[in-house]
Amino acid sequence: MLSKRIIACLDVRNGQVVKGINFEGLRSAGDPAELARRYNTEGIDELVILDVTATIEARRALADTIARVARELFIPLAVGGGIRSEADAAAAVEAGADKVSLNTAALSNPSLITTLAERYGSQAVVVAIDAKNDGDRFAVFARSGQAAEVGMQEYDPAGHHCCHCGASHLSTGERSVAAF
């Protein structure tokens, strides 16, 4: 039997944890390094930091924020947001990330998944899929929920396979994570 893991996700903007609904109305919710320290002490298994505006602002996730968080952890750290290339992934890893999480780039450039898996190992590459329930199907979105992906708009939660990549998915409400 598989053991359950607790993975916390911090949405970050401008170096601060933010809370909002569907990436809108974002308000500050604290310092990511302080929250990471608390989660680490409380016994979570992994932490994910998503820089929710990096892709929209056409920049990398903030290396300083990644480094400050990584210094507080003794558990795996995954980082997403603004990772569009091998160089962007390398910058996140060099700043302290153990894993990189792709969304928009995985949809627009699926070969990047393979490139990064070959460089860092498949355990270090996560594909996060933002999906919104649309009746009996899910619509897949990119760019922090701003754009529906043409040619990849439908994900069948009953079939547990993405129509494009064929990966197995874990569905949690409106966000799905692909496991490769």
pLDDT band, residue 128 (cuts 50/70/90): confident
Through-space distance between the first and last CA atoms of the chain, rounded to whole angstroms: 19
Share of the chain above pLDDT 70, in %: 73
Is residue 123 scored above 80 in pLDDT? yes
Fold of 7-127: TIM Barrel (3.20.20)
Cβ–Cβ < 8 Å for 88, 82:
yes
Residue 46 token pair? 């992994």
Domain ranges (residues) in the chain: 7-127
Residues 6+ apart with CB under 8 A from 55: 81, 82, 84, 103, 104, 142, 143, 144
If you average pLDDT over residues 7-12, what whole number do you get? 90
93: left (phi over 0), alpha (psi -120 to 50) or beta: alpha
One-letter amino acid for residue 11 of the chain = D
d(CA 109, CA 157): 23
Percentage of the chain surpassing pLDDT 90?
43
Band (pLDDT 50/70/90 cuts) for residue 53 is: confident
CA 30 to chain centre: 19
Our CA angle for 108, 132, 20, nearest 5°, is 95
Active-site residue numbers?
11, 130
Q: Please state, in angstroms and rounded to a whole number, the distance separating the CA atoms of residues 7 and 11.
A: 13
Name the H helices within the chain. 32-42, 63-70, 86-95, 104-108, 111-120
80-106 pLDDT, tens digit each: 988 999 999 999 999 999 999 998 888
Rounded to a whole number of angstroms, the CA Rg of the chain reads 16
Tell whether the model's pLDDT for residue 171 goes beyond 50: no
